[in-house]
Amino acid sequence: MAGVTLKTVAQAVGVSPSTVSNAYNKPDQLSAALRERIMATAQELGYAGPDASARALRSGKAGAIGVLFTDKLAYAFSDPYAVGFLAGLAEVAEEFSTSLLLMPLSSADIVGGSNAVQQAAIDAAAIFCVPGDHPAVDILTARGIPAVSTDRGDHADLSWVAIDEVEAAAKLGQHLTRLGHRDIVVLVDKPEAKDGAVELSFDEVGCSDCESRIQGLEKTMPDAQMRIVSGGYNSFNSGRKGAEYVLDSQDRPTAIVGLSDVQALGAMEAMKVRGLTPGRDLTVAGFDDIPAAEPAGLTTIRQPITDKGRIVGRILLDPATTERQVLMPTELIVRASSGPAPKR
């Protein structure tokens, strides 16, 4: 039936328009029998329900959290760390009947990403692995949209849920030092290196988390020779490519540290192909303790990934949550992939 409106349904049922509205928006205020009668009548008349955009205009709420991250959209579904974080965030969002809007901010299209944030119908934002100087962050501030970052900031009014990256990596560096490692390779994420593995200087790393983790390693490994290598975008394959590059070189290290577990697991695969055993022939360590790390026997730094997402959600949505800056704990998890440095 053309032209069916909320008022049409109200007249057919014999109730007020506000009662029909409550059937959709506040069902707890109606008896189950009345709501069922309203919904059945609406279906019979062909009424699809209140217009979502109009409802958002009236309430001033979009009912969505924007999740900003500087990577391809597929990253949100393929990277175990991102999946774990989003699971925790979604759990809280569901509790508050709020949806998630995934917003990848491509480094190749800064303007496009910024425009998307400017126009997005969101009530709040979770800033996931986005540099603090990205224009999108300033746009959120200008729009008055509350945001919580997964990176610590220097501003007292900035909300964040993060770990101490330097101290976390220092725990791993201390472990490697005790095992006698003085020659290590650090695998980092560098999308620009997608065509092949490259060695980088510290200034070329370009990722604040990676830089902090390298600084943490250096803090407890002051006498170590440290090379920084990237096989490209943060993935299993980039870790494998980076490890292949160093394993096939003449100056093979005694330890490889992936600044994410997926890269460390890729390095372990490269070793396996070459008949090398992690923890015996060469140490491999990672960062995050994703689900695949334990069965692989990977030594790593554990951080509470899903809990981080939950707390970000609580800060954004739960009025009872008053804390705005949360430092999460980390733990060194020692497994079979790390062992004493082999004698040369």
Domain 64-163+305-328 in the same topology as domain 6-50: no
CA 296 to chain centre: 22
Say which DSSP state 54 is in.
Answer: H
Which tokens go with 95?
């509790």
Q: Closest Cα partner for 188 from 134, 262, 253?
A: 262
Selection from 58, 116, 118, 64 nearest residue 94 by Cα: 64
Domain ranges of the chain: 6-50, 64-163+305-328, 165-303
Instruction: Give the residues across from 332 on adjacent strands.
Output: 301
pTM as predicted: 0.80
User: What are 257's two structure tokens?
Assistant: 């540290």
- Classify domain 64-163+305-328 at the CATH topology level: Rossmann fold (3.40.50)
The pLDDT of residue 260: 96
What is the per-residue pLDDT for 70?
78
Nearest 5°: the CA angle 260, 328, 259 is 10
Per-residue model confidence (pLDDT) at position 51 = 57
Tell me which fold the domain 165-303 belongs to. Rossmann fold (3.40.50)
Q: What is the pLDDT along the chain (344 residues), one digit of tens a residue?
A: 457 888 898 999 999 988 888 887 777 788 889 988 988 898 888 876 665 545 554 445 778 999 998 777 777 788 999 999 999 999 999 999 999 999 988 766 677 778 888 888 899 999 988 877 778 888 888 888 999 999 987 666 789 999 999 999 999 999 999 999 999 999 998 877 666 789 999 999 988 889 999 999 999 999 999 999 999 888 999 999 999 999 998 889 999 999 999 999 999 999 999 999 999 999 999 999 999 999 999 999 999 999 999 999 999 999 999 999 999 999 999 999 999 998 86
- The whole-number pLDDT of residue 154 equals 65
155, containing H or E segment: none
Rounded-to-integer distance, Cα 169 and Cα 288, Å: 11
**Which homologous superfamily does the CATH classification assign to the domain defined by 6-50?**
lambda repressor-like DNA-binding domains (1.10.260.40)
- Rounded to whole angstroms, the Cα distance separating 301 from 290 reads 10
For residue 106, count other CB atoms closer than 10 A to its CB.
14
